[in-house]
Amino acid sequence: MELPLDYPTLRVIWWGLLGVLLIGFALTDGYDLGVATLLPFVAKTDAERRLVINTIGPMWEGHQVWLILGGGAIFAAWPYVYAVSFSGFYLAMFVVLSALILRPVGFKYRSKRESTAWRSSWDWALFIGGFVPALIFGVAVGNVLRGVPFDFDSMLRATYEGGLFGLLNPFALLVGLVSVAMLVMHGASWIVVKAEKGPVRDRAARFGSIAAMLTIGLFVIAGIWTATLLPGYTITTDVLLDGPSNPMRKAVSVEAGAWVNNFVRYPWMVLAPLMAVAGAFLAAVSLGKKRNAASLAGSAMSVFGVVATAGVSMFPFILPSSLNPDASLTVWDSSSSHGTLFFMLIMTVIFVPLILLYTGWVFKVLWGRVTSEQATSPGSY
């Protein structure tokens, strides 16, 4: 059966959709992680901490849909990527999931007892549930940019030769710090928008301004490292854009600074890092002046730009291999079949707009500042 969209176009569409899902998760659950990371520092009393928790309490669960959709998209559209990454990063993912599990438990149990020690323990659990995923997600991106130690045998069975502590290399930790600073900035912007005027909002604005400037500094350092020292990957053979998915039918070279080639070849891609820096600067200035909408818009722009920069710099690579560069997974050789991508796209066109409409409706219903009276009333978090 002749399908309306050709195979190469569908592959690029699904590469873009994967980026959209990751950005959607970073924009929504990202500020949840940032708020949780800030919790012990912007709130000093029990009432203040309940105020902070209630800025995200009613809606954080809905944001998990982007994480689930992202994992599902990798499983269905990029099976090779799913097989290698979910196996190779298994221990790191276990750490992330363990930290994320602390969030629902912390939200539900924190205020069940009046004990100061009890509530303080859950506050730090919520901090771990915010900080650890923010760091590990960035570390994962840093390792993808460096290349992941995997290979395929003659039967296309994947082998991985890395370990949990091998992921904690200097460049990956730098990218992890970019992620933490970025999401703390985003979380602080959310608190400034949602919390009533008072000391919590003032502290969040101060921490957010610092985090925004750190985002710029760390992002620029990571960019210079990537452009000058970090090995990048380049396909050196002809690429069959509509061929069957087999990552072992190409040759790949590795050279320092290769990840910036796309910005030279496609100058419009420079918009991504410009958005990352300009958005963080806008957030820093707006947080200092308590301009609520501008600070949140700036932090959202920066989050979009940071995630997009990693994606466009690597195209067409999705998961490069440091063990055998020729085994690297790209847009052109690691996707599902033509028919699978097309029928999945139909489902996506139907259901993603519904998710966006529902998310928008929830934001509309729950919009408005959270007050201390609401945060400490019975039934609140």
- pLDDT over 90 for what percent of the chain? 71
What confidence score (pLDDT) does residue 2 get? 67
Q: Is residue 334 part of a domain?
A: yes
Instruction: Give the pLDDT band (50/70/90) at residue 365.
Output: confident
Answer with the residue of higher pLDDT: 160 or 213. 213
> What would the mean pLDDT of 257-274 be, rounded to a whole number?
94
Residue range of the domain that includes 110: 14-375
Task: Give which of 285, 205, 280, 215 is closest to 41, Cα–Cα.
Answer: 205
Rounded to 10°, the helix 116-146/7-42 angle is 150
What confidence score (pLDDT) does residue 112 get? 85
Q: Is residue 297 part of a domain?
A: yes
What confidence score (pLDDT) does residue 1 get? 58
Statement: residue 360 has pLDDT above 80: yes
Whether the Cβ atoms of residue 341 and residue 335 lie closer than 8 Å to each other: yes
Q: What is the dihedral of CA 278, 284, 290, 295, to 10 degrees?
A: 40
> What would the mean pLDDT of 368-380 be, rounded to a whole number?
80
Q: Is residue 1 part of a domain?
A: no
Whether the Cβ atoms of residue 81 and residue 319 lie closer than 8 Å to each other: yes
Alpha-carbon distance of 195 to 187, in angstroms, equals 12
Task: Give which of 234, 235, 316, 302 is closest to 273, Cα–Cα.
Answer: 302
Q: Is residue 45 part of a domain?
A: yes
Alpha-carbon distance of 188 to 202, in angstroms, equals 10
Answer with the residue of higher pLDDT: 47 or 164. 47
Rounded to 10°, the helix 90-109/116-146 angle is 150
Annotate 339-373 with DSSP letters as a single string.
HHHHHHHHHHHHHHHHHHHHHHHHHHHH-SPBPHH
Q: Is residue 50 part of a domain?
A: yes
For the chain, what is the domain count? 1
> What would the mean pLDDT of 297-310 be, rounded to a whole number?
97
- pLDDT over 70 for what percent of the chain? 99
Q: Is residue 5 part of a domain?
A: no
Q: From start to end of the chain, where are the E strands?
A: 150-152, 158-160, 231-235, 252-256, 317-319, 329-330
- Percentage helix, strand, coil for the chain under 3-state DSSP, each rounded to 5: 70, 5, 20
Annotate 64-121 with DSSP letters as a single string.
HHHHHHHHHHHHHH-HHHHHHHHHHTHHHHHHHHHHHHHHHHHHHHGGGS--HHHHHH
- Mean of the per-residue pLDDT values for the chain? 91
User: For residue 261, what are its two tokens?
Assistant: 């080639």
What confidence score (pLDDT) does residue 20 get? 92
Statement: residue 129 has pLDDT above 80: yes
> What would the mean pLDDT of 226-244 be, rounded to a whole number?
92
Distant-in-sequence, close-in-space partners of 93: CB < 8 Å, separation ≥ 6: 86
Q: Is residue 8 part of a domain?
A: no
How many other C-beta atoms are found inside a 10 Å radius of the C-beta of residue 256?
A: 12
Which residues are 319's β-sheet partners? 329
Q: Is residue 353 part of a domain?
A: yes
Amino acid present at 192:
V
Distant-in-sequence, close-in-space partners of 196: CB < 8 Å, separation ≥ 6: 51, 369, 370, 371, 372
Whether the Cβ atoms of residue 186 and residue 149 lie closer than 8 Å to each other: no
Statement: residue 371 has pLDDT above 90: no
Q: What tens digit of pLDDT does each residue of 159-190 get?
A: 888 777 778 899 999 999 999 999 999 999 99
